[in-house]
Amino acid sequence: SQKIEQNSEALNIQEGKTATLTCNYTNYSPAYLQWYRQDPGRGPVFLLLIRENEKEKRKERLKVTFDTTLKQSLFHITASQPADSATYLCALSRRGYSTLTFGKGTMLLVSP
Amino acid sequence: KAGVTQTPRYLIKTRGQQVTLSCSPISGHRSVSWYQQTPGQGLQFLFEYFSETQRNKGNFPGRFSGRQFSNSRSEMNVSTLELGDSALYLCASSLAFVSGESYEQYFGPGTRLTVT
Q: What is the mean pLDDT of residues A84-108?
A: 92
Answer whether A45 sits within 8 Å of B107, measured CB to CB. yes
How does DSSP classify residue B9?
Answer: S
- Flag whether pLDDT at B13 surpasses 80: yes
Nearest to B67 by CA among A101, B36, B104, B57: B57
**Cα gap B97→B83, rounded to integer Å:** 35
Shortest distance, CA B100 to any CA of chain A (angstroms): 5
**Cα gap B15→B38, rounded to integer Å:** 18
Answer whether A102 sits within 8 Å of B108, measured CB to CB. no
How does DSSP classify residue B25?
Answer: P
Question: Which H/E stretch holds residue A45?
Answer: strand A45-51
B80-116 in b/e burial notation, b at 16+ Cβ within 10 A? ebeeebbbbbbbbbbbebeeeebbbbbbbbbbbbebe
**Residue-wise pLDDT tens digits, B90-109:** 999 988 665 556 678 999 99
What pLDDT shows up at residue A2? 77
According to DSSP, the residues that pair with A77 across neighbouring strands are A19, A62
- Flag whether pLDDT at A24 surpasses 90: yes
- Flag whether pLDDT at A108 surpasses 60: yes
Answer whether A98 sits within 8 Å of B109, measured CB to CB. no
Q: Are strands A86-93 and A32-38 parallel, antiparallel or unpaired?
A: antiparallel
Asked if the C-beta of B103 comes within 8 angstroms of chain A's C-beta atoms, the answer is yes
Asked if the C-beta of B105 comes within 8 angstroms of chain A's C-beta atoms, the answer is yes
**Residue-wise pLDDT tens digits, B58-95:** 999 999 999 999 999 999 999 999 999 999 999 999 88
What pLDDT shows up at residue B30? 87
HEC string for A47-63? EEEEECCCCEEEECCEE
| CA distance to A93, B92, B104, per residue, from A47 (Å) | 15, 15, 9
Question: Maximum CA pair distance of chain A?
Answer: 44
**Residue-wise pLDDT tens digits, A30-85:** 889 999 999 998 999 999 999 999 999 999 999 999 999 999 999 999 999 999 99
Q: Average the pLDDT over each of A82-91, A92-101, B20-29, B52-61 and give the range with the smallest value.
A: A92-101
Answer whether B48 sits within 8 Å of A99, measured CB to CB. yes
Per DSSP, helices labelled H in B7-116 are: none
**Residue-wise pLDDT tens digits, B18-44:** 999 999 999 988 899 999 999 989 999
What pLDDT shows up at residue B2? 83
What pLDDT shows up at residue B62? 96
**Cα gap B113→A66, rounded to integer Å:** 36
Contact B31, A93 (CB under 8 A): no
* A-chain residue closest to B100, CA distance: A96
What pLDDT shows up at residue B99? 55
**Cα gap A4→A96, rounded to integer Å:** 19
Amino acid at B31: S
Per DSSP, helices labelled H in chain B are: none
What pLDDT shows up at residue B97? 62
Task: Verify cis geometry, omega within 30 degrees of 0, for the bond prior to B39.
Answer: no
What pLDDT shows up at residue A96? 73
Q: Which candidate from A32, A95, A98 shows the least CB-CB separation from B48?
A: A98
Nearest to A48 by CA among B108, B103, B92: B103
What pLDDT shows up at residue A22? 97
Answer whether B103 sits within 8 Å of A98, measured CB to CB. yes
Residues of A in contact with B105 (CB under 8 A): 34, 44, 46, 100
What pLDDT shows up at residue A94? 85
Altogether, the residues listed in chain B come to a count of 116
